[in-house]
Amino acid sequence: MGVISPGGFDLIEEAMNLCDFPEGARILEVGCGEGATLAWLEKTRGMKCTGIDASEALLRRGRELRPGLDLRRGEMEAPDFPSLAFDGVIMECALSLSPMQLEALHEAWCVLKKGGKLIVADLCRIDPDPAEVARARAEARKQRSGPHAWGDCERNRSAPSEYCLEGAFVVESLREAFEEAGFEILFFGDKTEVLRGFAAEKIFAHGSWEAFWRAALPPGEELGRFCRASARAKDLGYFLAVLRKPE
């Protein structure tokens, strides 16, 4: 199985050109899946790549397909790396899957070197209803700010996101999160046509989003975290952002 994100290698190529990393740059991909993007970066760009993913099944298949690639089990909210370890971090169709997105951005900021770049490509809502956004954000903040109780340490993992509606980002809210995490926004581009082309190709080939994911993922992998936003596909967009950690 190759890369299964909407942008494919073309979008990563565009992001790499925007970042202008030197040959041999150290890159971390968060939510690397089987490691297709990292293997391509090592081959075409001479980069030193590491990937983490929450799915051991995807990592196992990646290690079988690409022996020698540095693929590790890890959570984006708590990556096990020292500070200032990487020149670049990639989050492609990954950040929206996190239950604690601001924490994931903070962790990316920590592992990046000064001047390092964060690449985020993900789903977003097209013209979301402001009232719906306000209600969702207020509910998310209410759930996160309640008093803590014994056995409550995992509460934030089940709380709704302040920055998403049904699994896709609200762009203005996400921009606030980027800046709150300490990043400078160097580039933010609409890539919705990329998503629509990807969707048309996969649905034509497989009959539905769910059937595509069932074919793409290892047996037993939970589908919900990958295709939860597809119920409102007509309202979905896609974006590419390149962020910089200040010197």
Q: Which tens digits make up the pLDDT trace of 84-104?
A: 999 999 999 899 988 889 999
Q: For residues 54 and 157, what is the distance between their CA atoms, to the nearest angstrom? A: 14
pLDDT of the residue at 2: 45
* Summary mean pLDDT of the chain: 85
Name the band, by pLDDT with cuts 50, 70 and 90, for residue 51.
very high
Q: Which two tokens stand for residue 75?
A: 């959570």
* DSSP for residue 7: T
* DSSP for residue 90: E
Residue 125 CB burial class (10 angstroms; 0-12, 13-18, ≥19): buried
Name the band, by pLDDT with cuts 50, 70 and 90, for residue 205.
confident
Domain boundaries, the chain: 8-244
Cα dihedral 74, 165, 127, 178 sign: negative
Q: For residues 160 and 163, what is the distance between their CA atoms, to the nearest angstrom? A: 9
Q: Provide the residue type at 191 as one letter.
A: K
Average pLDDT over residues 160-181: 90
Instruction: Give the containing element (helix H, strand E) for 39.
Output: helix 36-45
Record the pTM.
0.87
Bigger pLDDT: 228 or 10? 10
Residues 168 and 96 sit within 8 Å (Cβ to Cβ): yes
Which CATH fold topology does 8-244 show? Rossmann fold (3.40.50)
> Is it the case that residue 45 has pLDDT exceeding 70?
yes
